[in-house]
Structure 1
Amino acid sequence: METHHIRLTSSEVGGLWANYIADSMFVCVYKYYLTKVEDQEIKKVIEHALDLSQQHVQVVTKIFKEEGHAIPLGFTENDVHVDAPRLFSDEFLLIFTKQMTKGALVTYGAALPHVFRNDIREHFMSCISSTMELFNETTDMLLSKGLEVRSPYIPYLQEVDMVEKQHFLAGWWGKQRPLTAIEITHLYSNIQTNHMGTATITGFGQVAKNSDVRNYFKRGKEISKNQIQVIINYLHENDLPAPVTWDAEVYDSTESPFSDKLMLFMISMMTAAGMGNYGTALSASPRRDIAADYVRFQGEIGLYAEDGLNLQIKHAWLERPPHAADRDQLMK
């Protein structure tokens, strides 16, 4: 019986294309990490992460070939130099992988509701399932090695209490109410992701070849450090601890393992994830002072992200995503 072939929708093409670009980058990153990692337990995690990225690239390549869609350039062996000296510690590689799985789960979860064909749904569900396995693996290992940073403990509620005053929403002046558990969650998480970004960008700033890329990384580091300090103050005002930095996990090498194109893309990807994190935190933070800071943070990194895109365009590193037809141009 002949079956009708269903074309890919714009959301399916866009999701697969972004999946290919990101995972082709991670293939390069984990190939390098695999040559440097010394801890045999962490090595197994890196191997697992590399295998997943390679599988995702292969699946998307197969689908695009069957559809007659161009295979993205993404990132290739020209973007990685596995013989370069080590830039990050084994512990950083594990922490980095945990943070990347968190971002991937958000990305795949956002893509899945907008895909329709059964094979594409199965692909993204498989991505979520396999990434959850890697997330659990990295979390268990971080805990076993004493590297996982838990969020602060707070007292258990002994009784139900209803909010009766508008002061619950207040901010800026006078005595503020204590932070809610959800507010603490997002403040703590955003410090952790910023610490990861700061450590990553510190390493990349040491090895980037182009001066404008190096200066861009330096600027990003300062933005991140300033935002971290604002968030830490909220925790300290409530006598809560803040997570430690990971800057010490960056080695002093000045020989780059990656192309400037790859490093700039990774920082752009992490910046975009940061904007999403702040948006989620904003929606869950009733206090006006905290919400106002999240809005300001989004504005700061939004401008930073735009400058990053301009740098990619300047150096001809920005691959144009799938797009709608320009009918006006076609009718000329």
Structure 2
Amino acid sequence: MSQDERKLEKDSHHIQLTSGDIAPLWAGYLSDSMVKGVLQHFLHTVEDVEVKPVIEFALGLTIEHMEFSAKLFNDEKFPIPLAFTEKDVNLNAPRLFSDGFMLLYLRHMGIAGTVSYAMALASSSRQDIRAFFIQNQKTAAELLEKATALLQSKGILTRSPFIPYPDSVEYVHKESWLNGLLGDRRPLNAAEISNIYLNIMKNSIGKALMIGFSQVAKNKEVIEYIVRGRDISTKHVEIFSALLRDDQMPAPATWETEVSNSKESPFSDKLMLYHTIFLSAVGIGNYGAAISASMRRDLTTVYLRLTSEIGTYADDGAELAIKNNWMEKMPGAVERNALLSL
């Protein structure tokens, strides 16, 4: 068989990318590109010799992901997202966040990765792409473990509240167990406590990021938008913390003191705006997961109200990105009506 015949046979068995393959690859390339810039700044400003290797590990993963996706897009003759470049990062800027916060950021990168790659794996159909996301799940879990173990060794890993072990198995006997109304409200269960705690931590990380971003951003509208996000995160932390305190449980400490007083930006306004919108999208997903695990109706009401607030905020951020010509269009279905000769 000639070389041309072998190529023709190979091409005849080629499986085109589906929307379920494209979506996580395309969105992942953008988010990896964004995170790459953040990690490059971390690597240039970190002081703790134990934290530095974890940053290097995470940065290596983002580069590997981008290289795989770029090659695949090239092979498919699919346009590679422009995403973010070296122009979006100023490596000469002084540190904006503490080493402890960098480590916490890395831990939550691992958490987000294990969740997003599981969803990507579920939507992907091609074997090579499934293998890519399976490997990414493993390395995200490895990053999570490295960051968590180091936080623990340094004594700065915050744990969700302890609860007493039950003496025996119990069944629910009253429908009011679901209500969560004042005067007849049961204490939070383990799943509800865990989700409230995680959402406090994730909002706290977002708040610290937005404090840092807001003090170094240049565009007035971007600053105002990020400050609004900071205030939303603050409010959500207070709401969730109050739920824990109602049951005499401690709320975790927040991280806003881990931001320096630097005014020189390590990142472009475009990158910081995208990161802020990205956090909003992650927050909506977190609240959705919490709703599914919450049996008290008052908690569902709280999560739905806060989700609506974040959704409106994310929509406003998208409009701001479009206004500045910063939002790349995700590939989608053909606009058939635009093809009509009318």
Q: What whole-Å deviation, never above 9, does each CA across 1:236-265 have from its counterpart, x for those lacking one?
A: 111111000101100001110000000011
Counterpart of 1:320 in structure 2 is 329
Please name the residue that 2:60 is paired with: 51
**Residue 191 (structure 2) pairs with residue 182 (structure 1):** yes
Q: What residue in structure 1 maps to residue 216 of structure 2? A: 207
Q: What count of residue pairs does the alignment treat as equivalent? A: 332
| C-alpha RMSD over aligned residues | 0.9
The answer to whether the Cα contact below 8 Å between 2:215 and 2:263 also exists between their aligned partners in 1 is yes
TM-superposed CA distance for 1:96, in Å, is: 0.7
Match of 1:256 in 2: 265
Residues 134-178 of structure 1: CA distance to partner in whole angstroms, max 9, x if unpaired?
110001001001111011100111101100001111123314111
Q: Which runs of 4+ in 1 moved over 4 A?
A: none
Cα distance in 2 for residues equivalent to 1:228 and 1:33: 26
CA contact (8 A) 2:20 2:125 kept: no
The corresponding residue for 1:147 is 156
Query: In the alignment, what sits opposite 1:71?
Result: 80
Displacement, 1:319?
A: 0.5
Alignment of 1:235-314 (within 5 A): 235-314=244-323
Question: What letter matches 1:39 in structure 2?
Answer: D
Which residue does the alignment assign to 1:132?
Answer: 141
Alpha-carbon separation, structure 2, partners of 1:197 and 1:175: 34
Q: Give the whole-Å Cα distance in 1 for the aligned partners of 2:16 and 2:297.
A: 47
* 2:146 aligned partner, one-letter code: E
Q: Structure 2, unaligned stretches of length 5 or more?
A: 1-5
Q: Does 1:115 align with 2:110?
A: no
What displacement does 1:331 show?
3.1
SS in 1 for 2:50: helix
Rounded Cα–Cα distance in structure 2 between residues aligned with 1:71 and 1:285: 40
Whole-angstrom CA distance in 1 between matches of 2:296 and 2:158: 25
Structure 2 residue identity aligned to 1:242: A
| TM-score (structure 2 length as normaliser) | 0.95
Does structure 1 residue 37 correspond to structure 2 residue 36?
no
Report the Cα distance in structure 2 between the residues aligned to 1:203 and 1:148, rounded to whole angstroms.
22
Identical pairs, percent:
46
Distance of 2:228 and 2:213 partners within structure 1: 12
Look up the SS of the partner of 2:213 in the other structure: helix
Distance 2:42 2:57 in 1: 12
Q: Do 2:176 and 2:184's aligned partners in 1 also have CA atoms closer than 8 Å?
A: no
Equivalent residue, structure 1, for 2:20: 11
TM-score (norm. length: structure 1): 0.98
Distance in 1, Cα, partners of 2:199 & 2:22: 31
CA distance in 1, matches of 2:292, 2:122: 21
CA distance in 2, matches of 1:114, 1:288: 31
